[in-house]
Structure 1
Amino acid sequence: MAALLFSVPASADCTAPADLVKLQAPLPRLVAAVRESERIRIVALGSSSTWGAGASSRARAYPARLESELRTAWPKADVRVINAGVNGELARNMLARIGQQVTPHNPQLVIWQTGVNDAIRGVPLDTFRLQVRTGIERLRATGADVVLIDQQYYPGFKSVKDGPLYLAALRDTAAQFNVPVVQRFRIMQHLISSAQFTTATLLSPDQFHLNDRSYDCLGHLLAQSLRSAAALAPAGETAVTKGQARM
Structure 2
Amino acid sequence: MPPELVELHAPLPNLTRALNAHEPIRIVALGSSSTWGTGATSPERTYPARLEQELNASWPKGDVRVINAGVRGQLAREMLARIDRDVAPFAPQLVLWQTGVNDAIRGVAIDSYRQQLTSGIERLRAVGADVVLIDQQFYPGFAKLKNGPLYMTTLREVAAQLGVPVMQRFAIMKHLISSAQFTTASLLSPDQFHLNDRSYDCLGRILAQSLRSAAASPAREQAADKDNARM
Give the alignment's TM-score, normalised by structure 1. Answer: 0.90
Letter in 1 for 2:88: T
Give yes or no for the alignment of 1:240 onto 2:227.
yes
Q: Which amino acid aligns with 1:88?
A: G
Equivalent residues, number: 229
Which residue of structure 1 aligns with residue 59 of structure 2?
74
Q: CA RMSD in A?
A: 1.5
Structure 1, unaligned stretches of length 5 or more?
1-15
Is 1:137 aligned with 2:122?
Answer: yes
Output one character per residue of 1:2-30: Cα deviation in whole Å (capped at 9) or x when no partner: xxxxxxxxxxxxxx110000001000110
1:119 touches 1:166 (CA, 8 Å); kept in 2?
Answer: yes
Q: Is the 8 A contact 1:28 1:239 kept in 2?
A: no
TM-score, structure 2 length as denominator? 0.96
Instruction: Specify which of 167, 175, 179 is matched with residue 160 of structure 2.
Output: 175
Contact 1:50 1:61 in 2 (8 A): yes
Number of the residue aligned with 2:178:
193
Greater share of helix: 2
Structure 2, unmatched stretches of 5+, are none
CA distance in 2, matches of 1:113, 1:208: 15
> 1:65 corresponds to which residue?
50
Residue 240 of structure 1 aligns to a residue in which SS? helix
Identity level (%): 68
1:240 Cα offset (Å): 2.9
Q: Which runs of 4+ in 1 moved over 6 A?
A: none
Taking structure 1 as reference, are residues 242 and 177 closer, same or farther at Cα in structure 2, changes over 3 Å only?
farther
Once the two structures are TM-superposed, the CA of residue 162 in structure 1 deviates from its matched residue by 0.4
SS at match of 1:37: coil
Counterpart-to-counterpart distance in 1, 2:181 and 2:18: 34
Query: Relative to 1, partners in 2 of residues 1:198 and 1:242: Cα closer, same or farther, differing over 3 Å?
Result: farther
**C-alpha separation in 2, matches of 1:93 and 1:99:** 12
Distance 2:6 2:68 in 1: 22
